[in-house]
């Protein structure tokens, strides 16, 4: 069988400046320089693993799938939020290249950021399917045409990597802002023809720290590695909230289904 | 030590664990359910499953056919009572996921679509494009959030089961964020920690798939069953091992050797089916073990393609057209582009077999109960008896939810009748185990990454697609040496929080234990069945001696003790296992 540890053809080396911070030891973060060999298919994640295996086992970062689907390995690479497994070293440089933790989230250690605020936001928007209260489907499957799926499908592709939180200026300014991925999760269900939970989610979205914090810079959509377009989701949620107000005003008690 | 209590503890936040947690919370709303996961649940490796999940639909299919495909696919080592339960409940669980919002791909009229899969006699694989595991996992995780009685400890590495008075009393875990050990006293524990294929160098698995739960149960005296059966997925990317879904072939993709020949016709899978007209159980839609074995033969004959990262064959999807590829296989297009620089609409993807799935695992019965009272196991970490000697693609995602539900309900019942043990002895046991594990930090001389790399090479070399006594003995010897070196393993990092140097070293310890069970189980099985194929005079299936499950029992002093247990046969006596035209005329193929 193939031996994946066989050194592939080396294209060169790159100097990486990696953000280090050990709680209890470091007062402030520091940057440590590493010289990393790379080949045609060496990703930033591979490079970090190489550093950990061969130079410094204490370098700390999250990773798992190494194929762009688990969402663990978001870093800021030369100023831009990227998935480490999808950013190839060959496309960087000439160096030194800075590897930093995602911005706008507090740093636990080295490249590991605190995900708890996001987990709370995600839970707060009630990201689950609410059945039709009058006529719930309790057996078999709903019917849903491919066209109906198009209304929300892109929003299901979010991997919760939080590159969008790193990119969003509002997340940095108002720490309680729900943020792009959490709002997108709500909109994903709101726009699902099987769901009847919009009324439950609206008060969370249409609140102090909800979707109105968004100033529509669109940085989230630029940063998204999965083409989810959270900015569009937020705009749709704003429009839906506005329609709901109008409907509430004109047709009391029917504002839940604009 | 920080001590918590829960009625039901679920170890692992992947598909099986989350389904179990939801089931426990639904069956017993007053029960306190705690999911402990070493990663945030949406990072669990279920996320990387691509092709689909099986469940019979349509008038031309039946659970009897799904049963027959699964049993022959497993080369008759399946426990047929388990297969019966599974096929009867798979579709309702797919529908349950649909009602929770899973975005299954649809037909134009709005019904759920199904696709062809290897070894399945009918299209019955539900899919969400080629991100089925991702969508199932996120649907389950988001659904779990609505259950207030399901709490979580995320980024907590479970270190050991705590056993007291002959039953499970809880688990010892380590809080990576706060940097301290935690004892969780539990009425019942569901192990749902996934597979162990990271013990191979070239594999499809994420970094976290390290056999932790298998090793914990094994050390606690539960048998690891059928560990010799390791599935090589026939289509991974050379080097990285990244999975290229069987769904590619379900949609009509073909495999070509270096001469451009659809070589599978030379391995009792033909005759060749027309390009663009895939036929169930023929050619590229044969089962995974047979396809990986065919690759090996082609490689021996020098008919594979050389790539910078090893030998490969070509998976050709070009005839499917860009539109279909982007609709049905968008992830594959992305992966091929990103990791190989290939547009699958214009060029074939080089692929090769890579270690993918452990058919074996923690021995359970059809109710997911293990031999240790209070311990349940489900998903890839378990050996429920469903997959036998070779798992069919799309049966494992379905297993997560079908048996995950059973595990959650059974564990909740057990906890409700047995209570939560809490004794001074439980705490002393946990304190002592915590001390042992934490004392790894800041000592030792043997770099863990070297032990890991050598383990991977030894497993690839000796317990791969084809095996010999000589090769397996060498691997067993290497694993024993590596275990000895592991006693002096070096953990440089002494920081209590997010100490991944230490955590991956703990995981390495689990892989060494599981690897030892795997290679010794393989050595002792002197026959060829399913994914266990021997070249040293044991090339045939031997029902007389080996229509039996192997059981490996942990021995701290050396290799495992091996015993054997009968296979449950209900309606399908062992028969010849055939595909292609041969499968039409024998009982095995239908």
The pLDDT assigned to A252 comes to: 58
Are A2 and B134 within 8 A, CB to CB? no
- The domain of A226 spans 116-250
Where residue B586 falls among pLDDT bands split at 50, 70, 90? very low
Are B308 and A9 within 8 A, CB to CB? yes
- Whether the pLDDT of residue A127 is over 90: the answer is yes
Lowest mean pLDDT among A181-195, B136-150, B412-426: B412-426
Q: Are B134 and A69 in contact (CB under 8 A)?
A: yes
- Chain A residue with CA closest to B204: the answer is A65
Domain assignment present for residue A148? The answer is yes
Task: Specify the pairing of strand B53-54 against strand B125-126.
Answer: antiparallel
Are B99 and A137 within 8 A, CB to CB? yes
Domain assignment present for residue A2? The answer is no
Q: Are A82 and A163 in contact (CB under 8 A)?
A: yes
Residues A92 and A121 placed together within one structural domain of the fold:
no
Residues of chain A positioned with their CB less than 8 A from the CB of B342: none
- Chain B residue with CA closest to A86: the answer is B338
The pLDDT assigned to B421 comes to: 84
Active site residue B435: no
CA B507 to chain centre: 16
Domain assignment present for residue A17? The answer is yes
Are A156 and B138 within 8 A, CB to CB? yes
- Whether the pLDDT of residue B368 is over 60: the answer is yes
Q: Which of B45, B66, B249, B520 is catalytic?
A: B249
- Whether the pLDDT of residue A68 is over 80: the answer is yes
Query: How many whole angstroms separate alpha carbon A98 and alpha carbon A80?
Result: 10
pTM score above 0.95 = yes
Comparing CA positions, the residue from A244, A148, A138 lying closest to residue A198 is A244
Domain assignment present for residue A123? The answer is yes
Q: What is the CATH number of the domain that holds A59?
A: 3.10.20.30
Residues A109 and A121 placed together within one structural domain of the fold:
no
Are B106 and A145 within 8 A, CB to CB? yes
Residue of B509 and A41 predicted with greater confidence: B509
What are the CA-CA distances from residue B459 to residues B194, B203, B383, B472, B526 (Å)?
19, 11, 20, 9, 18
Cα dihedral across residues B90, B93, B98, B101: positive or negative:
negative
- Whether the pLDDT of residue B135 is over 70: the answer is yes
**A94, A113, A132 — which closes off a domain?**
A113
Give me the residue from A40, A137, A141 closest to B112, CB to CB: A141
Fold of B2-53+134-231+357-430: FAD/NAD(P)-binding domain (3.50.50)
Where residue A3 falls among pLDDT bands split at 50, 70, 90? very low
Comparing CA positions, the residue from A178, A163, A153, A167 lying closest to residue A234 is A178
Residues A120 and A241 placed together within one structural domain of the fold:
yes
Residues of chain B positioned with their CB less than 8 A from the CB of A55: none
Residues A46 and A65 placed together within one structural domain of the fold:
yes
% pLDDT > 70, chain A: 94
Residues of chain A positioned with their CB less than 8 A from the CB of B499: 60
The pLDDT assigned to A245 comes to: 84
Mean pLDDT of A136-144: 95
Query: How many whole angstroms separate alpha carbon B512 and alpha carbon B547?
Result: 27
Fold of B434-545: Methane Monooxygenase Hydroxylase; Chain G, domain 1 (1.20.58)
- Whether the pLDDT of residue B172 is over 70: the answer is yes
Q: Are B44 and B140 in contact (CB under 8 A)?
A: no
Q: Are B347 and A40 in contact (CB under 8 A)?
A: no
Are B131 and A148 within 8 A, CB to CB? no
Residues A101 and A222 placed together within one structural domain of the fold:
no
CA angle A135, A141, A146 (to 5 degrees): 105
CA angle B577, B581, B582 (to 5 degrees): 35
Tokens for B111, please give them.
């019904």
Name the residue ranges covered by the structural domains of chain B.
Answer: 2-53+134-231+357-430, 234-354, 434-545
Query: How many whole angstroms separate alpha carbon B388 and alpha carbon B6?
Result: 34
Residues A127 and A243 placed together within one structural domain of the fold:
yes
- Whether the pLDDT of residue B456 is over 90: the answer is yes
What is chain A's mean pLDDT, rounded?
A: 92
Are B43 and A64 within 8 A, CB to CB? yes
**A59, A92, A113 — which closes off a domain?**
A113
Comparing CA positions, the residue from B350, B269, B354 lying closest to residue B313 is B350
Where residue B418 falls among pLDDT bands split at 50, 70, 90? confident
Q: Return residues 250-309 of B near A (CB < 8 Å).
A: 308-309
Domain assignment present for residue A122? The answer is yes
Lowest mean pLDDT among A6-10, A172-176, B188-192, B413-417: A6-10
Query: How many whole angstroms separate alpha carbon B456 and alpha carbon B588?
Result: 35
Residues A99 and A17 placed together within one structural domain of the fold:
yes
The pLDDT assigned to A253 comes to: 56
Where residue A257 falls among pLDDT bands split at 50, 70, 90? very low
Where are the alpha helices (H) located in B419-570, listed in sequence order?
424-438, 448-462, 469-486, 500-524, 543-546
- Whether the pLDDT of residue B132 is over 80: the answer is yes
**Residues near A79 by beta carbon (within 8 Å), at least 6 away in sequence:** A98
Give me the residue from B101, B461, B497 closest to A109, CB to CB: B497
Mean pLDDT of B538-558: 97
Number of domains, chain A: 2
- Chain A residue with CA closest to B299: the answer is A1
Chain B nearest-CA distance from A222, in A, is 18
Residue of B335 and B422 predicted with greater confidence: B335
Please give the class, per CATH, of domain B234-354.
alpha beta
Burial of B316 (0-12, 13-18, 19+ CB in 10 A): buried
The pLDDT assigned to A258 comes to: 41
Mean pLDDT of B255-265: 98
Q: Which of B225, B233, B387, B490 is catalytic?
A: B233
Domain assignment present for residue A36? The answer is yes
Domain assignment present for residue A186? The answer is yes
Query: How many whole angstroms separate alpha carbon B94 and alpha carbon B377?
Result: 21
Number of inter-chain CB pairs under 8 A, A vs B:
193
Domain assignment present for residue A3? The answer is no
Residues A137 and A96 placed together within one structural domain of the fold:
no
- Whether the pLDDT of residue A6 is over 50: the answer is no
Residues A75 and A141 placed together within one structural domain of the fold:
no
Mean pLDDT of B157-166: 96
Residues of chain B positioned with their CB less than 8 A from the CB of A25: 495
Specify the DSSP element, H or E, that contains B213.
helix B212-219
**A86, A113, A140 — which closes off a domain?**
A113
Tokens for A173, please give them.
């300014």
Query: How many whole angstroms separate alpha carbon B34 and alpha carbon B6?
Result: 6
Are B338 and A86 within 8 A, CB to CB? yes
Residues A90 and A125 placed together within one structural domain of the fold:
no
Residues A150 and A162 placed together within one structural domain of the fold:
yes
Where are the alpha helices (H) located in chain A, listed in sequence order?
44-54, 116-124, 146-150, 163-167, 169-173, 180-190, 198-205, 219-223, 230-250
The pLDDT assigned to A105 comes to: 97
Residues A92 and A188 placed together within one structural domain of the fold:
no
Active site residue B525: no
Where residue B329 falls among pLDDT bands split at 50, 70, 90? very high
Comparing CA positions, the residue from A11, A29, A10, A28 lying closest to residue A19 is A29
Query: How many whole angstroms separate alpha carbon B433 and alpha carbon B97?
Result: 39
């Amino acid at each position: 069988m193939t031996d994946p540890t066989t050194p592939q053809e080396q294209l060169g080396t790159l100097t990486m400046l990696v953000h280090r911070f050990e709680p209890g030891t470091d007062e402030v973060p520091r940057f440590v320089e590493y010289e990393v060999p790379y080949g045609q298919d060496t990703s930033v994640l591979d490079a970090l693993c190489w550093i950990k295996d061969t130079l410094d086992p204490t370098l700390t970062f999250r990773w798992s799938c190494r194929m762009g689907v688990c969402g663990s390995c978001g870093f800021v690479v030369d100023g831009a939020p990227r998935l480490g497994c999808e950013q190839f070293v060959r496309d960087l440089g000439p160096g030194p290249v800075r590897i930093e933790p995602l911005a706008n989230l507090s740093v636990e250690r080295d490249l590991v950021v605190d995900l708890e605020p996001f987990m709370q936001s995600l839970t707060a928007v009630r990201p689950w399917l609410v059945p039709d209260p009058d006529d719930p489907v309790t057996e078999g499957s709903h019917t849903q045409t491919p066209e109906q799926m198009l209304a929300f499908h892109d929003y299901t592709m979010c991997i919760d990597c939080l590159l969008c939180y790193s990119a969003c200026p509002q997340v940095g300014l108002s720490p309680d802002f729900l943020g792009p991925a959490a709002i997108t999760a709500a909109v994903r269900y709101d726009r699902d023809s099987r769901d009847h939970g919009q009324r439950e989610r609206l008060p969370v979205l249409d609140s102090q720290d909800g979707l109105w914090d968004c100033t529509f810079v669109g940085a989230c959509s630029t940063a998204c590695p999965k083409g989810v377009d959270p900015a569009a989701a937020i705009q749709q949620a704003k429009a839906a909230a506005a329609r709901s107000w109008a409907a509430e005003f004109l047709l009391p008690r029917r504002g839940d289904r604009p | 030590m920080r001590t918590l209590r829960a009625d039901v503890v679920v170890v692992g936040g992947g598909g099986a664990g989350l389904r179990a947690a939801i089931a426990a919370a639904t069956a017993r709303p007053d029960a306190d359910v705690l999911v402990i996961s070493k990663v945030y649940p949406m990072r669990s490796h279920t996320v990387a499953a691509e092709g689909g999940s099986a469940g019979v639909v349509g008038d031309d299919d039946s659970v009897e056919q799904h049963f027959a495909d699964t049993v022959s696919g497993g080369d008759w080592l399946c426990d047929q009572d388990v297969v019966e339960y599974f096929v009867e409940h798979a579709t309702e669980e797919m529908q349950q996921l649909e009602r929770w919002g899973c975005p299954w791909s649809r037909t134009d009229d709005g019904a759920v679509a199904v696709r062809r899969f290897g070894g399945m006699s009918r299209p019955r694989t539900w899919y969400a494009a080629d991100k089925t595991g991702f969508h199932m996992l996120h649907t389950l995780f988001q659904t779990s959030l609505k259950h207030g009685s399901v709490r979580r400890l995320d980024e907590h590495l479970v270190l050991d089961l705590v056993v007291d008075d002959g039953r499970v009393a809880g688990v010892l875990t380590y809080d990576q964020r706060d940097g301290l050990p935690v004892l969780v006293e539990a009425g019942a524990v569901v192990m749902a920690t996934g597979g162990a294929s990271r013990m191979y160098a070239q594999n499809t698995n994420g970094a976290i798939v390290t056999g932790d739960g298998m090793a914990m149960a094994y050390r606690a005296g539960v048998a690891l069953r059928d560990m010799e059966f390791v599935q090589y997925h026939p289509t991974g990317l050379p080097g990285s091992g990244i999975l290229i879904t069987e769904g590619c072939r379900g949609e009509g993709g073909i495999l070509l050797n270096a001469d451009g020949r659809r070589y599978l016709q030379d391995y009792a899978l033909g005759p060749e089916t027309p390009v663009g007209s895939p036929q169930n159980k023929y050619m590229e839609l044969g089962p995974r073990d047979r396809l990986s074995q065919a690759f090996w033969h082609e490689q021996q004959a020098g008919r594979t393609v050389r790539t910078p990262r090893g030998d490969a064959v070509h998976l050709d999807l070009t005839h499917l057209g860009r539109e279909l590829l982007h609709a049905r296989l968008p992830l594959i297009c992305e992966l091929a582009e990103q990791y190989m620089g290939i547009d699958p609409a214009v060029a074939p993807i080089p692929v090769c077999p890579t270690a993918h799935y452990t058919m074996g695992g923690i021995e359970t019965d059809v109710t997911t109960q293990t031999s240790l009272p209070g311990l349940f196991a489900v998903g890839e970490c378990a050996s429920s008896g469903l997959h036998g000697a070779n798992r069919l693609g799309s049966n494992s995602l379905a297993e997560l939810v079908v048996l995950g539900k059973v595990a959650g309900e059974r564990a909740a019942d057990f906890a409700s009748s047995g209570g939560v043990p809490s004794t001074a002895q439980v705490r002393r046991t946990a304190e002592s185990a915590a001390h042992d594990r934490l004392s790894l930090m800041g000592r030792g001389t043997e770099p863990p990454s070297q032990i890991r790399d050598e383990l991977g090479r030894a497993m690839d070399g000796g317990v791969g697609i084809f095996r010999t006594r000589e090769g397996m003995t060498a691997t067993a010897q290497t694993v024993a040496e590596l275990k000895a070196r592991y006693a002096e393993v070096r953990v440089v990092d002494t920081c209590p929080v997010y100490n991944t140097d230490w955590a991956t070293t703990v995981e390495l310890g689990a892989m060494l234990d599981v690897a030892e069970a795997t290679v010794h189980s393989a050595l002792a099985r002197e026959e060829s069945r399913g994914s266990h194929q021997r070249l040293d005079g044991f090339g045939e299936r031997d029902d007389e001696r080996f229509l039996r499950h192997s059981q490996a029992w942990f021995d701290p002093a050396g290799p495992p003790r091996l015993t054997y247990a009968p296979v449950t046969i209900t309606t399908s006596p062992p028969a010849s296992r055939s595909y292609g035209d041969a499968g039409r005329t024998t009982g095995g193929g239908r």
